[in-house]
């Protein structure tokens, strides 16, 4: 194991030079969701007290529908994610749920939320020349969550391009999501039984009418049509529901994506899957959006969610298992074959893997470099709690990759029968190229919010 640790330490030495290359990128646009995250970290004792208030058992929580209709459901979601050590986002269509969370959970800090907003901040900090963020609502409180950077833009109430942090669309309301974090090894007590959290993670409870309707700013569309993009990061579909006309809303965006592909054939369009609880909407994303884009990003939970709507039998066999890299590779391969997307990247705890078409425009070596940059930036975010300055980006540079990371890489290398994957991070698998990178693991992360969005965007945009 030490030998491989030395090998990857040397490979990670390229990261600072890789960061400098991001300044070559001319334009990134992020669409469609941007909001404010109200973050609170709850102890096991606090969660137990909330559960007692609703007389909840572990069985109640684990079998609860993944929709927020009552305050009780919020607590069920927290318990489920705590016991499993997973991250999920559930939606509420009732303002009373939001008010209950405000009154009973509170928050410790506000920060940028939504895949579009998070990606806009990190890519601007990386040094991309021009980053334009779509916002369904941009009052001063939302604008304050953008970094104060001269290359990070939004549109004011008159449709004029301004530095995002300086905008105040006074007639629009802030969109606030509740993020409940919990720590690894913490314990809760339910009905006299104790449950230990296997992995630090979070539960997201969302009440956000604008983003749940996928409200699109026509001014943003006009701007992109004129200015173009090198990378367009798509997200926000996970907020849709079948009952709210989500499938029709997805279909309404298809001509827009087709037009962007026609106008800018050299641009790369990436879809971040995110935690989509509505199965009908999730199936529509997989069937309608995914085949149109160039790249997809998802984590292990989201990969299983996609499998659920593409192969129920395989999902049933794997959904309760603690999946290793080999099993997740097979899921990623199936997703890629189902969607036909040229590039699919999965980020799991300890390992990132990308499966892409041979001869695709980004080479395997470039992909690996971008993934190592992303692993460093993500570890820095986890260790610091935020990325506020350029210096923060490389805070974790020089730290060793985790032992678990190397074990997962070994499992994957053995599974595909590759003698080179553990050393080079690259292998050929049938008609695909596989790139796999062991990551830096921060033992006590200060935050995990927005980690997947950071990983996916930095991996792609940093692949040069």
Contact 237, 275 (CB under 8 A): no
Looking at residues 229-250, what average pLDDT do you find?
96
In the chain, where the domains are located: 2-37+112-171+215-461, 43-104+175-207
Query: For 135-153, how does the pLDDT look when each residue is reduced to its tens digit (9 = 90+)?
Result: 999 999 999 999 999 999 9
Query: For 5-53, how does the pLDDT look when each residue is reduced to its tens digit (9 = 90+)?
Result: 999 999 999 999 999 999 999 999 999 999 999 999 999 999 999 999 9
Largest CA distance in the chain: 62
Looking at residues 196-211, what average pLDDT do you find?
91
Compute φ and ψ for 131, nearest 5 degrees.
-120, 125
* Calpha distance 235→226 (Å, rounded): 21
Query: For 210-228, how does the pLDDT look when each residue is reduced to its tens digit (9 = 90+)?
Result: 998 999 999 999 999 999 9
Instruction: Give the full edge-to-edge strand order of the sheet including 201-206.
Output: 88-91, 201-206, 176-182, 35-41, 109-113
Q: What mean pLDDT value characterizes the chain?
A: 94
Looking at residues 49-59, what average pLDDT do you find?
95
Residues 6+ apart with CB under 8 A from 142: 34, 35, 36, 135, 174, 175
Model confidence pTM above 0.75: yes
Q: Class assignment of domain 43-104+175-207?
A: alpha beta
Q: Does domain 2-37+112-171+215-461 have CATH number 3.20.20.140?
A: no
Secondary structure element (H or E) that encloses residue 223, with its range = helix 218-227
Rg (Cα) of the chain, in Å, rounded?
Answer: 21
**Structure confidence at residue 2 as a pLDDT band (50, 70, 90):** low
Q: 268 - beta bridge partners?
A: 231
**282 torsion bin: left (phi>0), alpha (psi -120 to 50), beta (else):** alpha
How many CB atoms are located within 10 Å of the residue 337 CB? 14
Looking at residues 355-361, what average pLDDT do you find?
97
Looking at residues 280-299, what average pLDDT do you find?
97
Residues 6+ apart with CB under 8 A from 78: 42, 47, 50, 180, 182, 203
* Calpha distance 373→378 (Å, rounded): 9
Three-state DSSP class for 168? coil
Q: Do domains 2-37+112-171+215-461 and 43-104+175-207 have the same CATH topology?
A: no
pLDDT score recorded for residue 233: 98
- Higher pLDDT among residues 29 and 319, named by residue: 29
* Calpha distance 264→287 (Å, rounded): 23
- Look at residue 201 and tell me whether its pLDDT is greater than 80: yes
- Look at residue 375 and tell me whether its pLDDT is greater than 90: yes
- Look at residue 320 and tell me whether its pLDDT is greater than 70: no
**Structure confidence at residue 318 as a pLDDT band (50, 70, 90):** confident
Three-state DSSP class for 354? strand
**Structure confidence at residue 317 as a pLDDT band (50, 70, 90):** confident
* Calpha distance 292→402 (Å, rounded): 36
**Judging by beta carbons within 10 Å of its beta carbon (0-12, 13-18, 19+), is residue 212 exposed, middle or buried?**
buried
Give 455's Cβ-side CA count (13 Å radius).
31
Contact 198, 64 (CB under 8 A): no
Alpha carbon 293 to chain centroid, angstroms: 17
**Structure confidence at residue 311 as a pLDDT band (50, 70, 90):** confident
pLDDT score recorded for residue 255: 97
Query: For 382-420, how does the pLDDT look when each residue is reduced to its tens digit (9 = 90+)?
Result: 999 999 999 999 999 999 999 999 999 999 999 999 889
- Look at residue 160 and tell me whether its pLDDT is greater than 90: yes
* Cis amide bond preceding 32, omega within 30: yes
* Calpha distance 231→264 (Å, rounded): 10
Residue 66 DSSP code: S
* Calpha distance 344→209 (Å, rounded): 30
* Calpha distance 308→303 (Å, rounded): 9
């Amino acid at each position: 194991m030490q030998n491989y640790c030395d090998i990857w330490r040397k490979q990670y030495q390229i990261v600072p030079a890789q960061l400098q290359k991001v300044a070559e990128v001319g334009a990134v646009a992020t669409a469609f969701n941007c909001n404010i995250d109200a973050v609170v970290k709850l102890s096991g004792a606090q969660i137990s007290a909330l559960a007692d208030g609703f007389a909840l058992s572990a069985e109640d929580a684990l079998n609860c529908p993944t929709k927020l209709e009552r305050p009780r459901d919020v607590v069920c979601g927290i318990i489920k994610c705590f016991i499993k050590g997973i991250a999920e986002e559930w939606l509420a269509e009732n303002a009373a749920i939001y008010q209950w969370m405000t009154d009973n959970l509170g928050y410790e800090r506000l920060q940028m939320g939504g895949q579009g907003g998070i990606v806009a901040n990190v890519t601007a900090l990386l040094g991309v020349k021009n980053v334009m963020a779509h916002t369904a609502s941009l009052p001063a409180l939302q604008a304050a969550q953008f970094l104060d950077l001269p290359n990070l833009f939004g549109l004011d109430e008159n449709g004029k391009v301004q530095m995002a942090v300086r905008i105040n669309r006074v007639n629009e309301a802030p969109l606030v999501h509740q993020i409940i974090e919990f720590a690894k090894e913490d314990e809760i007590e339910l009905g006299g039984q104790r449950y230990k959290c296997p992995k630090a993670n979070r539960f997201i409870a969302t009440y956000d009418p604008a983003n749940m309707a996928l409200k699109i700013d026509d001014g943003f569309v006009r701007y992109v049509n004129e200015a173009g993009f090198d990378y367009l990061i798509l997200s926000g579909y996970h907020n849709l529901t079948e009952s709210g006309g989500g499938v029709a809303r997805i279909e309404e965006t298809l001509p827009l994506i087709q037009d962007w592909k026609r106008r800018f054939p050299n641009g790369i369009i990436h879809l971040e899957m995110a935690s989509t609880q509505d199965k009908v909407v999730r199936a529509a994303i997989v069937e309608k959006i995914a085949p149109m884009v160039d790249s997809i990003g998802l984590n292990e939970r989201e990969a299983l969610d996609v499998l659920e709507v593409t192969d129920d039998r395989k999902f049933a066999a794997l959904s309760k298992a603690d999946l290793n890299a080999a099993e997740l590779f097979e899921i990623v391969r199936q997703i890629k074959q189902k969607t036909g997307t040229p590039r699919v990247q999965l980020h799991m705890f300890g390992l990132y893997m990308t499966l892409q078409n041979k001869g695709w425009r980004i080479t395997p070596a470039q992909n690996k470099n971008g993934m190592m940059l992303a692993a460093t930036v993500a570890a820095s975010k986890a260790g610091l709690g935020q990325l506020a300055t350029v210096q923060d980006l490389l805070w974790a540079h020089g730290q060793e990759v985790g032992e678990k990371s190397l074990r997962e890489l070994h499992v994957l290398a053995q599974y595909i029968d590759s003698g080179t994957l553990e050393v080079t991070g690259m292998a050929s698998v049938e008609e695909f190229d596989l790139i796999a990178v062991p990551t830096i693991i921060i033992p006590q992360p200060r935050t995990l919010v927005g980690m997947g969005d950071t990983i996916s965007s930095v991996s792609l945009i940093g692949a040069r």
